[in-house]
Amino acid sequence: MAHLIVQEISANVSHNTVDRLKAIIAGLNNIGPTSIPKSGRKQDHIDRIRSYLTTLRNTNNITAWTASKGIITSVPYKKDCYSLLNIRY
C-alpha cells in the first residue's frame, strides 16, 4: 500500500512547474539532512525528488516520508497562490 502511495506522489511530481518543484525541494531541504540542489532543468528537479522519495521508501523512514508528503501536498500551485491573495489571472 505504501509503495503505491510513493508511486502515485512520485508520478504526480512531474505535473508541477519548475517554480513549484524548487519550492518542494526547498521544503525537503528544510526537514532533514538532505541537500537537494535546486539548479538544473525541470527533469533534473523531478528526478531528484523522485530519488529522494525512493530513498525514504527503501529505508522505511516513516518520519521523513510523512513530512515530505506534507510538503509536496502543501506547496500551492500558481492558481492557488493567486487565489490566496485574491488576485485574478
pLDDT confidence tier of residue 29, bands split at 50, 70 and 90: very high
Q: For residue range 31-71, list pLDDT tens digits in order.
A: 877 899 999 999 999 999 999 988 888 899 889 888 988 89
Round to whole Å and give the CA distance between 89 and 86. 10
What share of the chain has pLDDT > 70, as a percent?
75
**CA dihedral of residues 28, 29, 33, 38 (deg, nearest 10):** 120
Could you tell me the CA-to-CA distances from 5 to 18, 29, 30 in Å, in that order?
23, 21, 22
* Cell output for 19: 517554480
pLDDT confidence tier of residue 16, bands split at 50, 70 and 90: confident
For the entire predicted model, the pTM comes to 0.76
The confidence score (pLDDT) of residue 88 equals 41
Round to whole Å and give the CA distance between 6 and 34. 18
